[in-house]
Chains A and B, each alone.
Chain A
């Protein structure tokens, strides 16, 4: 879907553009009309002025030019008059050698029109039919339009410039207003990113605009609810398994005692107990792996890995093991619950510690959109023929390849919960077993 901001930008900008355009066109025609009207009015005044000084009686036809305005004197001054009475034609001096084509009118009739005048300029003309002795004379006044038009263009042009400046200002304004009113949205985005990266455990409601606040509140509520639910089911599962393990420990004690008297029965019972125990460990690890969780509960690298390494060094105190990390600096978190991550990596590293001579290498890096994690050791490794057995799905590893038992089964179970792909091969660097986990993250 198109973003609201883009939509608003497009709509507002086009609205402003269209309204400006319409108002400009309307303005132009209004102005033009007004200009035209003012010229016609002016011509009406001119014609009455000329008519006043025109004498058409008793066979004498004359115009008292000295009574008229000086505009009619200079040649091509732009204001003209012409009187046609029968064969006689009287012209203003300003017409000079030019003459206006005038149609004959009836008495009292007026005509308004435009034509080409002296110097090929457009002129506005007004004619009036004036009755005299034995006919009708036609008095015509004219005005050159070019000067007025020039003025009009200048006026209209400066108005246009002004409008254009306004338009640009408005569009810039729209961008600025939209940008600043959508700033809180960017804030929400940042808050969500923080949440995802685990820097916050809920959205900061105080910073939210009123429109988004209810959404954020609902989101926070939901977040809290799921995290409480997840924690509750984690605790319940933990309690269940811990509750089962102490009776199991008692049973194993009894079985060990029984083994002194009846070794065969004891062995059968021991195997069953071992199966129950393995089942509990595996199911506990997977059932608790909830997949989605509060980011703040995610595994932090390398802090949590340091803790694991220190613990493993204590567990394997009789070995001198060097653990090297190669963790891409931009990776500070693994997208899994800390407890699951600890269980996964704990078992991976435990397996490496078990088999290593002295060196274990842990690498975490991002390749395209994939998060990659490898654990390598310099132990004897696994024979080529057995490698594919490790990879096989749904098989119990402890039945398949001796020595890589319950721990790797748990690793596989957790990996499956988190949709991690797991692969086994020979470590090119250290020569022992290399276990490779690949996470194709959708929101990397």
Chain B
């Protein structure tokens, strides 16, 4: 799960990336509107966290620009401008959610989860857990329930399983998966997806993830 955090306050960025990482997100940071625009057009993100007051421009205008270019990546506005008329402007510009500063990290994480599942066409279950075909992911605990059993997940396993749960029954290429697992400037190891798919199969059962040779993987759950 890959995020783009557009925020120019270094301290805030430092702490927030740590917490986002702990929650299983890969986060790229852009400290200016220009960087953000470049990064978003270069690689796929599952969600953008966007500040309004940027050193080289206005976040709202940037968002409008993206929406005009039909870039549909979900965007959460994270801004000090939290009056209602500003929220109205934010949503009108194409934001998917709006959170005022100062904020609780838990609140941001909950909204990220909701926005990302919605953008994948998957409304969250009432318990706000991702679930498909008898496999349920607990995002706060980073564990998985397979029928009656519960397994701990490593950070990478968790990230990979979440990607699968958000797009079940869909063919996902190795590149698509590794893009979402790594930060923009990380060195990508070629076989890492295969390694973690193998790990997941041990916990979920062999048939949960189908391999299409030369194409990628399809997640089936326990069916």
Query: Chain A residues in contact with chain B, CB under 8 A?
Result: 238, 241-246, 248-254, 256-257, 273, 277, 281, 284-285, 307-308, 310-311, 314-315, 317-318, 338-339, 342-343, 345-347, 350
A245 touches B101 (CB 8 A): yes
Residue of B nearest to A339 (CB): B85
CA distance A350 to B87 in the complex (A): 12
Cβ–Cβ < 8 Å partners of B151 in chain A = none
CA distance A315 to B92 in the complex (A): 12
B88 touches A249 (CB 8 A): no
Chain A nearest CB from B147 CB (Å) reads 28
23 contacts between A and B (CB under 8 A): A238-B81, A242-B80, A244-B80, A245-B102, A246-B101, A248-B101, A249-B102, A253-B11, A253-B15, A253-B19, A256-B105, A277-B102, A285-B83, A307-B92, A308-B88, A310-B91, A311-B88, A315-B98, A339-B85, A342-B84, A343-B83, A345-B84, A346-B84
- Since A252-B102, A342-B88, A346-B84 are in contact, a sample of 18 more A-B pairs with Cβ atoms closer than 8 Å, ordered by chain A residue number, is A245-B101, A246-B9, A246-B80, A246-B101, A249-B9, A249-B101, A252-B104, A253-B19, A277-B102, A311-B84, A311-B87, A311-B92, A318-B123, A339-B83, A343-B83, A345-B84, A346-B85, A346-B87
Chain A nearest CB from B110 CB (Å) reads 11
B85 touches A338 (CB 8 A): yes
Cβ–Cβ < 8 Å partners of A243 in chain B = 80
Chain A interface SS verdict (over half): helix
Cβ–Cβ < 8 Å partners of A308 in chain B = 84, 88
CA distance A338 to B114 in the complex (A): 31
Question: B118: CB under 8 A from chain A?
Answer: yes
Cβ–Cβ < 8 Å partners of A310 in chain B = 88, 91
A252 touches B87 (CB 8 A): no
| Count of residues in B whose CB is under 8 Å from the partner chain | 29
B16 touches A253 (CB 8 A): yes
Cβ–Cβ < 8 Å partners of A244 in chain B = 80
Question: B44: CB under 8 A from chain A?
Answer: no
Chain A nearest CB from B204 CB (Å) reads 28
With A250-B9, A311-B88 as contacts: A241 and B15 at CB distance below 8 Å? no
CA distance A343 to B87 in the complex (A): 10
With A246-B80, A250-B11, A339-B83 as contacts: A273 and B102 at CB distance below 8 Å? yes
CA distance A248 to B79 in the complex (A): 12
Cβ–Cβ < 8 Å partners of B84 in chain A = 308, 311, 342-343, 345-347, 350
CA distance A242 to B53 in the complex (A): 9
Q: Which of B87, B97, B102, B114 has the largest number of chain A CB atoms within 10 A?
A: B102
CA distance A242 to B101 in the complex (A): 9
CA distance A200 to B90 in the complex (A): 28
